[in-house]
Structure 1
Amino acid sequence: MPPHYGSDQKQPEESRFPSAYTILFGLVIAMAALTWIIPAGQYERAPNAALSKDVPVPGSYALVEATPQGFIDVLLAPIAGFYDPSSYEANAIDVSLFVLIVGGFLGVVTATGAINTGVAQAMRKLEGREKWMIPIMMALFAAGGATYGMAEETLAFYVLLIPIMIAAGYDALTGVAIIMLGAGVGVIGSTINLFSTAIASNAAGIAFTEGMVLRFVILGLSWLAAVAFVMRYAERVRVDPTRSLVAHLQDENEAHFLQKHAPVEGETLTGMQSVILILFAATFVMMVWGVSSQGWWMAEMSALFLAASILIGTLGWLGEKAFTNAFVEGARDLLGVALVIGLARGIVIIMDQGRITDTILHTFERWITGMSEVAFINALFGIEALMSFLVPSTSGLAVLSMPIMAPLSDFAGVSRDLAVTAFQTAIGITNLVAPTYAVVVGGLAIGRVPYNIWLRFVWPLLLVLSLISMALLSAAVLL
């Protein structure tokens, strides 16, 4: 019997690492403490009609009255992170509700038996060729990241893909990496990403098509590096499961919850289960279509999964009580994910209320003024990477930083499209590990992969991706 928390049995070293909740709440406290130390300041804002937002005016930074955040503010920050009427972009309630409804949807589909049987049948057909799922899936997620900034939408795919990876002889970390790194390298090499490249280019006063060739090169090399990295780890786990970085979790009370979806050998799909799986896949296809071409966001996606749950529950003849129980149980599985997303957004709330975000940006502005071209572009890359820890929203950071950094690039002799590319690559890399980014903490929570293990796994790839980006940016400046 696995040990319960609070027992006298010694837990593995990794299990004593703080949970995501503790890490994030600690960051809220740390950020509140900084509001007592860092001077409060703000840039003047001017309306930008194209962005429908107010953007900072270069050279307008001034100190303002300090509003240090105290004990009550720290307690209110996670609540405001879910819903703050004064700061829509910092809200997490729509994403959290989406996660809960997706959990309910997956609970209903699982209750029909279609997923277990379908995974088992697929694994029998793919026997010996399972590894090719990795580059194919990572290419699809990278395409989503590069074109429309696929981020929160990926949360719907973890519970679908991780059981398949486990059934194929890999582990939960492999499934998490395929999704998070796949979509992440797409954002790093964003081409027509409306939430990153397009908004940043607009804020910089240039067309988003400028610099497209360089971004395609970054996208291709980053994708190759990420695929090779994940395939190498996955093969190592398949050959020797004890080398999995999450192998020890199988012996804890918090054993991998997706093991309950382990496929049953020998079963074949019924006609109705085949129909359910078709509807299951069609739901995800419709979600991607709606987001990429119809302007859907969390409300529409949530409604889609709710409707699909009702349709599949009806076709599967679950009955009213079985349907509601399956939906509630599925939502309960992802409740922790919904909570951690709100907690992550609370960090941004504290910074904004403490009026230190603009001060941090102004400090970076002063640091890079007067640098040479190569030094400037690499310093800009580093600054955007650091800023994205504090402002994990790609669109939010683009609107905040580009009106300041783009004019500075003119004085450094660096074209503005390179400044935009430095921005998008930097935030794309940081958002693979930032604990303030809901997509990271949410995806890891769904996969039951501790944050410290994810860092241990991904840091070599982060170094490679950073070197690729910085080398290409430097070469572009010199050409």
Structure 2
Amino acid sequence: MTFKFPSAYTILFALIAAVAIATHFVPAGQYDRVANPELGRDVPVPGSYQEVEPNPQGFFDVVMAPIAGFYDPGSYEARAIDVALFVLIIGGFLGVVTKTGAIDAGIARAMARLQGREKWMIPILMALFAAGGTIYGMAEESLAFYALIIPVMIAARYDAVTGVAIIMLGAGIGTLGSTINPFATVIASNAAGVPFTDGIVLRFVILFACWLACVVYVMRYAEKVRANPDHSIVADRRESNAAHFLKGRNQGDGAPDFTGKHALILIIFAASFAVMIWGVSVGGWWMAEMSALFIVASIVVGLIDWMGEEEFTSTFVDGARDLLGVALVIGIARGIVVVMDAGNMTDTVLFWAEGAVEGLGEVAFINTMFWLQAGLSFLVPSSSGLAVLTMPIMAPLGDFSGVERSLVVTAYQSASGLVNLINPTFAVVMGGLALGRVPYERWLKFMWPLLLILAVIIMAALSVATML
């Protein structure tokens, strides 16, 4: 009997149980916290760590963690229940649009126009997603694009992994190399007591170098798959993925006709995503507003296609049902942080990290800081949550080692961004892989050489900047 790697649900439940067991052995502790008016949050006070009454988590806590994960915002910008509802509504919206045949006809026309030049979609799309990441920390909202990008990649004779990589690596590298991202760079710089523009040149260098490395890596993989589909790490799922993402498209009957109605629906489709990006980056929107946007867009598309009320509602519900598993993964992933916080582990781990960098030289300090932040990112996947938790403690330590606080901020955001490309506690990773039908262990197999390359680039950039 061959070993089969467990599903995302089993992995996440195992992590919840492991963290719960750890609360029985890791000393419970907390920092004192004070309100920071600029950040609008309570931040830990350096030197105030103390052990507190332990609160080991048991069986009931493990069982309740996924439920609490949906409702407890913790250090996140949105509750998991809000993100999960957004994903379900996106599923309904995509179901309605797919039913009209507009996506199938649009993909067929795009492939005809791009004949022989399909590979250039990869750097262009990754640049667009990276721009979203570096400007406003594109994360949960990227989930809306998987059902749009992956069918195009499969139709271009690539695979689902290529589509997932374009979105997850594109947006992830943008966040890793954040320049003006308010949820990472700005919050961390404020917590560290420095202007967010300090160190921005280095961050642009890291952003471009890491983006270029990712583009080359993904393009090489995609071309290998196109030349020989057996080189795909999801080759055994090729037929089922094609049936899922290109459903309703019968290639044997030739390309579907592209009508004026299809064009109008695709304009509404694209405009919905453009409005979403504007709303998040300029209008102060979040999950509730984005969900409402796609409900309205679904109704508009249904009216254009002149669906009856019964057909529209059943199609919308069927589309939402397709993404129900993704919504569940998002809540379960948040449950890990719920157990860790309830067991008073988080501040203890931060205290240990504080002691690990004291007294180090400049280069040793910044690289140790990078890896400590990487470890903490597994426990606190939210970039803003990690910034508020660690920067008030870690940034002042740079003063004693002669390292500028802006470099500590860059080390933090680079580490957080790197880890969140594979982090199983990050709902965006597990949700994106579920949307792309890519098993987690296959994603790790795809990613590990690239992670080493990116880590070397980041450590080299931090080391050189420290010595200048």
Name 1:392's counterpart in structure 2: 381
Give the % identical residues. 65
**Counterpart pick for 1:381 among 357, 363, 370:** 370
Cα gap change, 1:180/1:325 in structure 2, threshold over 3 Å: closer, same or farther? same
C-alpha distance in 2 between matches for 1:87 and 1:233: 36
| 8 Å contact kept, 1:32–1:68 | yes
Q: Distance in 1 between matches of 2:42 and 2:250?
A: 52
| 2:198 counterpart residue number | 210
Question: In structure 1, what is the equivalent of residue 399 of structure 2?
Answer: 410
In the aligned structure 1, how far is the partner of 2:78 from the partner of 2:380? 10
Runs of 4+ aligned structure 1 residues displaced above 4 Å come to: 85-90, 261-264
Match status 1:267 vs 2:253: no
Matched, 1:286 2:270: no
Tell me the residue number matched to 2:159.
Answer: 171
Query: Which residue in the other structure is 1:35 paired with?
Result: 23
Partner of 1:52: 40
- 1:55-454 matches, within 5 Å, as 55-84=43-72, 91-250=79-238, 257-260=244-247, 262=249, 264=251, 265-454=254-443
Measure how far apart 1:255 and its partner are: 7.8
The answer on whether the counterparts of 2:78 and 2:287 sit within 8 Å (CA) in structure 1 is: no
Contact between 1:199 and 1:398, CA under 8 Å: does it hold in 2? yes
Deviation at 1:447, TM superposition (A): 0.5
8 A Cα contact 1:90 1:345, kept in partner: no
Matched-pair contact (CA < 8 Å) for 2:75–2:385? no
In structure 2, distance between residues paired with 1:221 and 1:250 = 32
Report the residue type matching 2:184 in the other structure.
S
Post-superposition offset of 1:325: 1.2
Root-mean-square deviation (Å): 1.4
| TM-score computed with the length of structure 1 as normaliser | 0.95
Q: Tell me how far apart the structure 2 counterparts of residues 24 and 401 of structure 1 sit (CA, whole Å).
A: 25
Q: How many angstroms apart in 1 are the aligned matches of 2:229 and 2:75? A: 46
Give ranges in structure 1 of 5+ residues lacking alignment.
Answer: 1-9
Matched AA of 2:52 = V
- Unpaired segments ≥5 residues, structure 2: none
CA contact (8 A) 1:102 1:331 kept: yes
Please tell me whether the aligned partners of residues 44 and 61 of structure 1 are also in contact (alpha carbons under 8 angstroms): yes
State how far apart, in whole Å, the 1-side matches of 2:177 and 2:47 are. 31
SS in 1 for 2:247: helix
Q: 1:90 to 1:127 in 2, by over 3 A?
A: closer
The Cα shift of 1:262 comes to: 4.4
Residue 267 of structure 1, CA deviation: 2.0
Given the superposition, is the C-alpha separation of residues 261 and 423 from structure 1 closer, same or farther in structure 2, using an over 3 Å criterion?
farther
Question: Is the contact made by 1:95 and 1:298 (CA closer than 8 Å) also made in structure 2?
Answer: yes
Q: Residues of 1 paired with 2:289 and 2:390: CA distance?
A: 30
What's the offset of the Cα at 1:260? 1.6
Give, as a single letter, the amino acid of the residue that structure 2 aligns with 1:140.
L
CA gap of 1:259–1:315, structure 2 versus 1, over 3 A, is: closer
Counterpart amino acid of 1:359? T
Aligned to 1:6: none
After TM superposition, give the deviation of residue 32 of structure 1 in Å. Answer: 0.3
Q: Contact 2:433–2:440 (CA<8 Å) still a contact in 1?
A: yes
Q: Is the 8 Å Cα contact of residues 167 and 263 (structure 1) preserved in structure 2? A: no
Say which SS state the counterpart of residue 432 (structure 1) adopts.
coil
Q: Secondary structure at the match of 1:157?
A: helix
Q: Deviations over 1:59-118 (max 9, x none)?
A: 000000000001111111100000137777573000000000000000000000100111
> What residue number does 2:465 align with?
476
